Amino acid sequence: MDLNPSYKKDFTMGYLEDKWLRNGKWIIFLYFRFHKDMKSTKKSMLLCCKLYVSESRNHTALDSIERAARLDGETVIVNKFEDRAYNRIRYTLVSYIVHDSTGNIIYSPLQRTLQSMVEAAYEAINLELQCGAHPRLGVVDDIVFHPLAQASLDEAASFAKMAAADIANKFQVPVFLYDAAHPMGKPLDIIRRELGYYRPNFMGSQWSGWDMPEVLPEKPDVGPTMVSRARGIVMIGARPWVSAYNIPIVSTDISATRRIARMVSARGGGLPTVQTMGLFHGEDSTEIACMLLEPNRIGAEQVQYQVEMLAAQEGLDVEEGYFTDFSPDMIIEKYLKLIAGDESH
């Protein structure tokens, strides 16, 4: 006996319980089959979501965002990275995805968790009052999805587009899609450059408030073209794993740091698949923030060596760089340990 097509479309818990009331024993069987499949799904079909919020100094705001993240125990915060100088925080979330019989994603705990965290961020943070040494265009500045374990990039992109529609519609914010989530695969850095992301608007090296027109020069992929000055805009994308690696420079000479950053980057004729920014980091140092788009091809050691070589030519000292997140294997390991602990209680 095959399942009615209408049943195949919505395979969520509430739907199954509703059908059970009308169809009896057949749905009880499906209920248990669903749970059996879920145990393997929770360990194999995984998405990593990195949520970047433009705040790290307001602990009341961060507490509110993290309380929202704990509303659903099936989404796990495996890591967070706070940077007070940048006034920015990144949450690394992991959960599973569920498909219908045709292979379409129909459910993930990430959906509810993400909406709750975004809502908490908008309620607690006003972009017009925010200032930091890192570029940003929104309170919720960037949301990126990476496939983990057996999940595919197409699945990450599909979920990113679902999340973009949810956030744009619920919070009435413009959303720009990038990389695999964009219809043409448009890269994040190009979109940011078109919107003036990299241009500081305060004291030559800081980003403060919202100083762009309220009607955007570029049409967003989802949501309104009018911007709330308190919320700004959101970038949402999907891409293979990217490593963030920051290298401290023992100098306040931001011009020299930016020169080095540009020469190291692919855009400046340096290392392929490496993107960089030279930024102030605290009162007595600067930093080169690096995105390693293909870390298995060009890794942190090569970037570190290149920065040290160029800095020596400028007469500057360089400290050992640091990753801002765990590797994909470590993230999966931490997620599995955390959900195993929850399931044992």
Catalytic residues: 134
Element (H, E) at 252: none
Q: Please classify residue 240 by burial: count the beta carbons closer than 10 Å to its beta carbon, then call 0-12 exposed, 13-18 middle and 19+ buried.
A: middle
Beta sheet of 234-238, edge-to-edge order: 76-83, 88-96, 45-53, 140-149, 234-238, 175-179
| Stated length of the chain | 345
Question: d(Cα 252, Cα 279) in Å, to the nearest integer?
Answer: 10
| β-bridge mates for residue 230, sequence order | none
Contacts 24+ apart (CB under 8 A), 40-44: 41/96, 41/97, 41/98, 42/74, 42/96, 42/339, 43/96, 43/149, 43/336, 44/149, 44/150, 44/151
Question: d(Cα 55, Cα 184) in Å, to the nearest integer?
Answer: 31
Question: d(Cα 244, Cα 275) in Å, to the nearest integer?
Answer: 10
Give Cα 309 to chain centroid, integer Å: 32
Q: Please classify residue 296 by burial: count the beta carbons closer than 10 Å to its beta carbon, then call 0-12 exposed, 13-18 middle and 19+ buried.
A: exposed
| β-bridge mates for residue 236, sequence order | 143, 177
